[in-house]
DNA sequence: CAATTTTTGGCAACCGCTTGCCGCAAGCTT
DNA sequence: AAGCTTGCGGCAAGCGGTTGCCAAAAATTG
């Protein structure tokens, strides 16, 4: 600093600023750096808009004061909240934990706050959250949305969002490659000699449930299998008992189950009833959630990179929020799936 | 309203307000109701501060416009954000999922937003989050804080917080009754004839880990048991293998493990090595997380109402934020624990 | 060296809401 | 009836930033 005038900023408050009780504001920084607040603001958000020298000075001042801009105030004037809301149908479900983990991770990396919302499997709550939070979030990630196509379309026109595991023509989507997964699972079952298969259905409003059933039916029929369907069941372990009993009653030798939670519940019930898995019945779950590897028997399941899906969803949303000139925003990401064969599947009983 | 002058507010925009593109602000509501914005503000936040008649009028106007106050703006002027941050060491750990679920639930009921932060088991990140978010959250819930006593004390002077599973003299705390739990577990083991017991330790910085060990050592010694200790291990299933091997090597016939994650990992390893649980070795976990009931064998574990603990933590924090005149704020809540005996514990080998 | 362009930083008007203070009108006292 | 509370609503000053606009300073040009 060769220029002494720089040091001679008007210091009305003497050293009072070194230890004020309130958190420092942009004004404190401005004063300390001897510039206007607008300059501080610019130095911090659009660094190339100010002279490198002043920028450094401001940065130093900010660092010295331990200044952190108020996201509130920033949001007020800029209209951006720097937060995105993640809506999940059921925060209790480990499947969503995985996705939350993914979004959380990626959001954090981007310096964006995650607002977590449990919509309790209800489209009303979902819509309500979407509405109430339109001001407090820059965008939304809808995991397994329960909204109708029309609702989804309407909402997506008002606010930036990306859906996860819910096809949509109106909004960017990241999906799990369910069709492929179901086909892999049926192939596995077929190779083990199963002829009578049963789909254990989840929530009727779940798009992925519908999708799974559709592909299941098509492909199993094509293979000449006897196809059954039971359900719907709530995607919880506690629903597993009913599902297991119903499954046994169909006479099927193998089940593909809507998700792991339900599958694990079935496992427990089957064991309690003395029905051996996989000797008497094979079970295939879906999602490969926490626990699928250590339940008894370990569950054969459709694995998908859920956490990664969460990250991708965030990336897509962020890309939508800050459109980069060159790149066009991706409208669809399909996450690959594979069958993780563990011990809940085996040869069809003779 | 007999006074016509009230109705005769300047209406520059005619009926343009019925369908503006931007979300309605408090001004729109004020205009529609024919009052000042301050009155709207009060009608909405301190209803008894305005005349019931005007309040109704304002409420109607607000409803008609579908008005939702901007939490940003509200926060800016009132200094409150209506959000609380929940810091957990590892969002990946099902244990914290339970507590998150509890806090989320209770916070939602209070109309407060939950800000979830993963501190990655690092006290620096924890401190950093505490600092960075001091403006964006009204209070903090520190789950299993990694902070030192001094840090905790200092922080708790600046911002409202409650700690969970981390004793603190400076901040309100909700704790799991670990001592009792460990004693119950040892009692259980003793009654099964075990004499050589081993504590499998978790993160050294974890207060509850230290606590558990302390009580374990005291009580086991008092019972004349041979006590071992191994660890520390990261509280993840993947650390279970090393822990299991080390445990076997101690010659102990029963282990009390820092948490279920680690215990389940040990179960897997022991099974892989052909060591039967509980015939050859008994295992007791802690927390009763998701999965503890369906792992193989189902895990005997220390159950505690974690989700409820989350709710209590929120209540205590909220009480601290809006002190009710009459009531004194509770400084400590201890959640009861009990031993859930499943199949991973059995008689000591002969 | 004057004229012109580009940088750089300041001014000030918000963003949407809260709140201290004030004044008016109505209700009570005596 | 005059004097005092009390209840209700408006005014206006912020809260802590951002940003369009403008002018001074610096760099470029002929």
Residue A103: helix, strand or coil by DSSP?
Answer: helix
Got the DSSP string for A139-152? EEEEET----HHHH
Q: Which residues of chain A register pLDDT less than 50? A: 1-19
Minimum Cα–Cα distance from A68: chain B residue: B132
The pLDDT tens digits for B146-200 are 999 999 999 998 889 999 999 888 999 999 998 999 999 999 999 999 999 999 9
Minimum Cα–Cα distance from A267: chain B residue: B294
Q: Which H or E run contains A181?
A: helix A178-191
DSSP assigned state of A29? H
A135 shares contact with chain B (CB less than 8 Å): yes
Residue B93: helix, strand or coil by DSSP?
Answer: coil
In the block, which residue shows the tokens 């903090």?
B140
Q: Is the peptide bond before A342 cis (omega within 30 degrees of 0)?
A: no
What pLDDT does residue A326 have?
Answer: 65
What does the pLDDT average to over B332-344? 96
Please, what sign has the CA dihedral across residues A48, A51, A56, A58? negative
Please, what sign has the CA dihedral across residues A258, A261, A267, A273? negative
Chain C positions with a protein C-beta closer than 7 Å: 7-12, 14-20
Choose among A162, A242, A166: nearest CA to A210.
A166
pLDDT at B3 over 80: no
Got the DSSP string for B232-264? ---SSGGGHHHHHHHHHHHT-SEEEES-HHHHH
The answer to whether B35 CB sits below 7 Å from nucleic acid chain D is yes
CB B114 within 8 A of CB B107: yes
The pLDDT tens digits for B239-272 are 999 999 999 999 999 999 999 999 999 999 999 9
Q: What domains can be seen in chain B, in order of their start residue?
A: 4-69 (1.10.260.40), 82-176+307-335 (3.40.50.2300), 178-305 (3.40.50.2300)
What pLDDT does residue A3 have?
Answer: 38
B132 neighbourhood in chain A, CB within 8 Å: 68
| Burial letters B43-78, b for 16+ CB under 10 A, else e | bbeeeeebeeebbebbbebbeebebebbbbbbbbee
What pLDDT does residue A305 have?
Answer: 93
**Backbone torsion region of residue A302, taken as left when φ is above 0, otherwise alpha when ψ lies between -120 and 50, otherwise beta:** beta
The pLDDT tens digits for B202-212 are 999 899 999 99
What pLDDT does residue A80 have?
Answer: 86
Please, what sign has the CA dihedral across residues B86, B89, B92, B95? negative
Chain D positions with a protein C-beta closer than 7 Å: 7-12, 14-20
The pLDDT tens digits for B17-46 are 344 467 899 999 999 999 999 999 999 998
**What is the spatial distance, in angstroms and rounded to an integer, between the CA atom of A328 and the C1' atom of D2?**
79
Q: Which of the 61-80 residues on chain B come under 7 Å of nucleic strand D at their beta carbon?
A: 73, 76-77, 79
Minimum Cα–Cα distance from B293: chain A residue: A295
What pLDDT does residue A198 have?
Answer: 98
The pLDDT tens digits for A134-159 are 888 999 999 999 999 999 999 998 89
CA contacts within 13 A on the Cβ side of B130: 27
A82 shares contact with chain B (CB less than 8 Å): no
Task: State which protein residues have CB closer than 7 Å to strand C.
Answer: A 34-39, 42, 48-55, 73, 76-77; B 22, 25-27, 37-38, 41-42, 44-45, 67, 69-70, 73-74, 76-79
């Amino acid at each position: 600093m060769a220029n002494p005038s720089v040091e001679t900023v008007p210091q009305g408050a003497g050293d009072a600023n070194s230890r004020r009780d309130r958190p420092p504001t942009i004004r404190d920084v401005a004063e300390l750096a001897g510039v206007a607040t607008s300059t501080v603001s610019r130095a911090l958000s659009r660094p190339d808009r100010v002279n490198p020298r002043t920028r450094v000075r401001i940065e130093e001042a900010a660092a010295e004061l331990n200044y952190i801009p108020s996201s509130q105030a920033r949001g007020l004037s800029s209209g951006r909240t720097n937060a995105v809301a993640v809506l999940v149908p059921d925060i209790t479900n480990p499947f969503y934990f995985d996705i939350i983990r993914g979004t959380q991770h990626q959001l954090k990396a981007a310096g964006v706050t995650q607002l977590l919302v449990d919509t309790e499997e209800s489209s009303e709550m979902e819509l309500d959250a979407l509405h109430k939070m339109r001001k407090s979030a820059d965008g939304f990630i809808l995991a397994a949305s329960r909204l109708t196509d029309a609702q989804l379309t309407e909402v997506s026109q008002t606010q930036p969002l990306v859906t996860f595991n819910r096809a949509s023509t109106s909004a960017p989507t990241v999906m799990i490659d369910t069709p492929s997964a179901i086909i892999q699972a049926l192939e596995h079952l077929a190779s083990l000699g199963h002829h009578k298969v049963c789909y254990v259905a989840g929530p009727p409003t779940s798009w992925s449930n519908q999708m799974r059933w559709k592909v299941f039916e098509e492909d199993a029929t094509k293979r000449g299998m006897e196809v059954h369907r039971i359900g719907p069941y709530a995607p919880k372990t506690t629903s597993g008992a009913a599902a297991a009993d119903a499954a046994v009653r169909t006479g099927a030798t193998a089940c593909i189950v809507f998700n792991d939670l339900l599958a694990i519940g079935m496992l427990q019930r089957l064991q309690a009833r003395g029905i051996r898995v996989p000797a008497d019945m094979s079970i295939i779950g879906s999602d490969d959630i926490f626990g699928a590897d250590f339940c008894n028997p370990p569950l054969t399941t459709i694995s998908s990179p859920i956490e990664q899906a969460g990250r991708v969803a965030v990336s897509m949303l962020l890309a939508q929020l800050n459109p980069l000139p060159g790149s066009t925003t991706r409208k669809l990401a399909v996450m690959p799936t594979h069958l993780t064969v563990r011990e809940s599947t085996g040869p069809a009983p003779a």
